[in-house]
Structure 1
Amino acid sequence: MTIGDMLGALFLGLLEGLTEFIPVSSTAHILLAGRFLGIHNTGYTFEILIQLGAVLAIITVYFERFLRVARQLPTNPGAQRFLLSIIVAFLPAAFIGVLAHGFIKSVLFETPALMCITLILGGIVLLFVDRLALKPHYNNAMGVPLPMALKIGFCQCLAMIPGVSRSGSTIVGAMLLGMDKRAAAEFSFFLALPTMLGAFTYDLYKNFGSLSVDDGMQIAIGFVAAFCSAVLVVRTLLDFVSRHGYAPFGWWRIFVGVAGLIGLAITG
């Protein structure tokens, strides 16, 4: 593995952590950056496996709250309902993801123009939803009713199309279902844990035999970089959203999508 490969893995890891929990699609950013900057990596597998760094960032930032829930789980109905809501929201993506894994990896993630288009469309949706005069009924991410959690879970399935964004689809879905902006982002954090851990485990199982030592080194570098940058995002995102909403992310998506289409037209 060359110094260039190591720097490329470091850059993509930082990009993963910075974009995983904001509604801009980390997958599209990593795959498009790898294509246009000529960064060699294992593509979709690299992007999935370094997500574990972002997962650990969530666990680190919310460790005390998760520990409290774990201690209260045997006797506290609120803790039990919170855990059940996350499981219920996770199930649609788990089921559809296993069934469609091959198609997602071999077709959707090999179509950069699709990523650019979905980035633009998702940006327009974010701008539209952010301006709606929504009246939220839920401001606690740990008190989501189970039917609502299931609907958010189905919204998350849209993110199997690259460029849609896992956090974007869950946040928009939660807001349209009556959750305020801050709570929607926080529930998206919590839902990321089983979703990303499941994707990590399944993809590692499917591709472990094909990974080389160099691939493992790149993934390790990307993992650490993703953890560090994701901690920063998780610690600051909720306050940013409370002040500025989601419009800045919508404009960013449109900019990246348009730039990507122009780049594809130039490079073929």
Structure 2
Amino acid sequence: MELPLLIKALILGIVEGLTEFLPVSSTGHLIIVGDLLGFNDDKGKVFEIVIQLGAILGVVWDYRARVGRLITGLNTKHEQRFLLNLFIAFLPAAIMGLLLHHQIKTHLFNPVTVAGALIVGGFAILWIERLPLRVRVTSMETLGPMDALKIGIAQTFSLFPGVSRAGATIMGGLIAGLSRTAATEFSFLLAMPIMFAATFFELLSNYKLFEAADFPVFATGFVASFVSALIVVKMFLRFVSNHNFTSFAIYRIVFGMLALAYYWN
């Protein structure tokens, strides 16, 4: 039985909010779940832009105090240095995204490719967790420009759907010497410029597909994404302070294999 459109919007909004800031690939989940729900046409792709905006506004709200200090303290060296680090980390993926946007959208946005990336990314996390990594940076406030550049380079891998932006930046942070909490928090803050840039680029490219009649569907997905992201960000930070990322790696591998088996048949 075909689900009502508002129910599909609610499901996809929750999926986006739950997965955007975890190392499991929100884009990959949206592609697979959207395909299963039959909501993967041009309208569905525009809908995904809207719910991604909802998720990023959720983390902005969670970190509103830190964002406020960054804005009001731009005349201080500490905040200028932190903003520079965010810019350095933002730049590699922004440049590669602009150069390869069409090719990625055309050739890589399909469930089978995503499922493969989920599996490979899961094994990559398992490998990184077994490396003898040394923690040099215990707070995102004290990371240096080279640390930011390493995280930015790692983030470029997330342009491949299914890799996970959060997963790439957090794992990149661990390899660069950040603690789990510092890498996770910097990933949250770095999500703001890269996701805002990607969202508004997509909005400008697809604004003709927006119609007033779609407002209830888009609003449902937006609110669901915003609320679920609010909840997940707080829970995830508590989790990483006492656990590693092995469980997420196993989830990625199992989910990717199930998706591959489904689409193979």
Sort the TM-score into its range (normalised by shorter chain): over 0.9
**Does the CA-based 8 Å contact 1:31-1:43 persist in structure 2?**
no
Stretch of structure 1 that moved more, 118-127 or 33-42: 33-42
- In 1, distance between residues paired with 2:199 and 2:250? 30
Residue 132 of structure 1 corresponds to 131
In the alignment, does 2:261 pair up with 1:262?
A: yes
- CA shift at 1:216, angstroms? 4.4
Deviates further, 92-101 or 12-21: 92-101
Conservation of the 8 A alpha-carbon contact between 1:8 and 1:40: no
Is residue 35 of structure 2 the alignment partner of residue 35 of structure 1? yes
What is the count of residue pairs matched by the alignment? 263
1:67-95 CA-partner distances (Å, limit 9, x unpaired): 12322221x21111111111111111211
TM-score by length of 1: 0.93
Q: 2 CA distance for matches of 1:100 and 1:217?
A: 33
Q: Are 2:186 and 1:183 equivalent residues in the alignment?
A: no
Tell me which residue corresponds to 1:51.
52
Aligned match of 1:70: 71
Q: 1:3 to 1:36 in 2, by over 3 A?
A: closer
Pair 1:226-2:225 in alignment: yes
Task: Provide the aligned C-alpha RMSD in A.
Answer: 1.6
In structure 1, what residue type is equivalent to 2:174? M
Q: How far apart are 1:193 and its partner, in Å?
A: 0.2
Partners of 2:10 and 2:224 within 8 A in 1: yes
Conserved? CA contact 2:147–2:176, under 8 Å: yes
In structure 2, C-alpha distance between the alignment counterparts of 1:206 and 1:190, rounded to whole Å: 25
TM-score when normalising by structure 2? 0.94
State the Cα distance separating 1:206 from its structure 2 match.
Answer: 0.4
Q: Matches of 1:240 and 1:86 in 2, distance apart? A: 24
- Runs of 4+ in structure 1 deviating by more than 6 angstroms, as ranges, are none
In the aligned structure 2, how far is the partner of 1:177 from the partner of 1:28?
A: 26
What are the ranges of 5 or more consecutive residues in structure 2 without an aligned counterpart?
Answer: none
- Match of 2:241, SS? helix
Question: Which shows bigger deviation, 76-85 or 143-152?
Answer: 143-152
Q: In structure 2, what is the equivalent of residue 159 of structure 1?
A: 158
User: Partners of 2:141 and 2:61 in 1: how far apart?
Assistant: 18
Distance 1:158 1:49 in 2: 23
C-alpha distance in structure 2 between counterparts of 1:219 and 1:98, whole Å: 26
- Unpaired runs of 5+ residues, structure 1, are none
**Displacement of 1:140:** 1.0
Specify the SS of the correspondent of 1:23. Answer: coil
